[in-house]
Structure 1
């Protein structure tokens, strides 16, 4: 009887281990092939994305590469399965080509495009894109906003009720193909205001953050935590689809009530696919 009980116990433990392995493989498979959550840790994509936003990133729109595999487990192998290039204006998650750290940026230039910036104005293939100054955007300050190491603290002020708010200068841009979105432009004097011209090589993409003067992107060298120019298509891990929820930084793990009170209203469900202006230049 003792031997039978021991064998049964060993069988139970074996089944438990097997079940755990299967669950982990399923999670890894879903994260790598279908979709995964992504947390925004900075203000580089303001005003579109805020520090504290939680996104859903789909893995299949551009096909799959080594960068699709979650947790950076795959070796860097050149090539992409069922690869389809992003559209200008898509927000993408990528592995940094050198450090393999996750970044999130917007696709600005496609293979063959010539990208240039002059005094902060974006020029694609020799033609300045449409830029429209918007009213100042007021966003409440909280524990997550501005984020750590943000360049937005200079815009913190007080509203009529004495509450701390960010008053942000916004410029709406429209790319060739019609993608329209808001950016932050702090005015002249930033090193990233003048760049190029540079031609995007084959199988590469030029990426920028919406916080144009506070983003380490394709304009910024690797030693300054930037992408060091256009990035290979293979480093793209997926497309940002929508915001699942957003928190203001006041969550305390030991206080379940704070899990709800920390939620920012109006952020959940925000679609991250850019609007497309039917009247814009088509290609």
Structure 2
């Protein structure tokens, strides 16, 4: 009996240590994140599975699960760069979100006729073909994609794609299907406060981001303390409603760098 009880005790200790190590790894190094929406298409697709580099910007209370780290501000802090794809904690509803960092503290940001302006200068856009996907329910939530055309179920959904260049030379793709979505292709000028950041989705007409105030369900300006980490690479991707549906896995996206 003593030997059996000892075996149970060792098993419990092993499980506890494994959980502690996994928790420490998640808190200090990398956090898994599953892309739930189309706001970052075509850079990130619904069903992409990424690991978030939590060492990139240092640590805040939100680096810990459930925001339980017992300190305020950031420690070992590093400044994010314009163009980074960042996971951050929503300042109001507490959900984790992923967007592209567009505006740094002190920047003036505006969108005019679908073109991004940073400190009065347009971020150049050049046509980059058309992003195509099947018009059908996507991912576990079953959302249908927004399209520039009007496809029926099962037909091809089209979105004009552009390659945008930010002031620091970072290039990335954006999608813009026009005013039909009711989302703002024209905005006021936003002045980013000190120690805050301005984020936008690459799928410009299907992204609730810093163009919308927090009081209206948007993101608004995001304080530095809510930054969790930088997304660098897609590890795995599934186009199905369940990850285990292996026939929906996107093998061309394994270990794909995020630009």
Counterpart position of 1:46 = 41
Cα distance, 1:269 vs structure 2 = 1.7
Is the 1:171–1:183 contact (alpha carbons within 8 Å) kept by the matching residues of 2?
A: yes
Counterpart position of 1:269 = 255
Is the 2:82–2:101 contact (alpha carbons within 8 Å) kept by the matching residues of 1?
A: yes
* Deviation readout 1:91-133 (Å, 9 max, x if unpaired): 0111111111010000001111111112221110111111112
Is the 2:136–2:144 contact (alpha carbons within 8 Å) kept by the matching residues of 1?
A: no
Is the 2:104–2:196 contact (alpha carbons within 8 Å) kept by the matching residues of 1?
A: yes
Counterpart position of 2:103 = 109
> Is residue 206 of structure 2 the alignment partner of residue 214 of structure 1?
yes
Cα distance, 1:19 vs structure 2 = 1.5
Unmatched runs of 5 consecutive residues or more in structure 1: 275-283
> Is residue 257 of structure 2 the alignment partner of residue 248 of structure 1?
no
Name which of 21, 28, 35 aligns with 2:30: 35
The equivalences for 1:73-222 within 5 A come to 73-74=67-68, 77-140=71-134, 144=138, 148-152=142-146, 155=149, 157=151, 164-188=155-179, 190-222=182-214
TM-score by length of 1: 0.83
Looking at structure 1, the residues matched to 216 and 75 of structure 2 have their Cα atoms a distance apart, in angstroms, of 32
Cα distance, 1:165 vs structure 2 = 2.5
Is the 1:38–1:57 contact (alpha carbons within 8 Å) kept by the matching residues of 2?
A: yes
The count of aligned residue pairs is 258
Q: Secondary structure of the residue that 1:67 maps to in structure 2?
A: helix
TM-score by length of 2: 0.90
Q: Secondary structure of the residue that 2:17 maps to in structure 1?
A: helix
Provide the alpha-carbon RMSD of the alignment: 2.4
Is the 1:42–1:150 contact (alpha carbons within 8 Å) kept by the matching residues of 2?
A: no
Q: CA separation of 1:30/1:142 partners in 2, compared to 1, >3 Å: closer, same or farther?
A: farther
Q: Secondary structure of the residue that 1:193 maps to in structure 2?
A: coil
Task: Indicate the structure (1 or 2) with the bigger Cα radius of gyration.
Answer: 1
Q: Secondary structure of the residue that 1:196 maps to in structure 2?
A: coil
Q: CA separation of 1:187/1:41 partners in 2, compared to 1, >3 Å: closer, same or farther?
A: same
Is the 1:118–1:194 contact (alpha carbons within 8 Å) kept by the matching residues of 2?
A: yes
Q: More displaced, 75-84 or 127-136?
A: 75-84
Looking at structure 1, the residues matched to 106 and 240 of structure 2 have their Cα atoms a distance apart, in angstroms, of 42
Unmatched runs of 5 consecutive residues or more in structure 2: none
* Deviation readout 1:167-211 (Å, 9 max, x if unpaired): 211121111101111111112353422223121111111001011
Q: Secondary structure of the residue that 1:241 maps to in structure 2?
A: strand
Looking at structure 2, the residues matched to 196 and 252 of structure 1 have their Cα atoms a distance apart, in angstroms, of 41
Is the 1:174–1:180 contact (alpha carbons within 8 Å) kept by the matching residues of 2?
A: yes
Q: Secondary structure of the residue that 2:179 maps to in structure 1?
A: coil
Q: CA separation of 1:171/1:208 partners in 2, compared to 1, >3 Å: closer, same or farther?
A: same
Looking at structure 1, the residues matched to 250 and 207 of structure 2 have their Cα atoms a distance apart, in angstroms, of 24
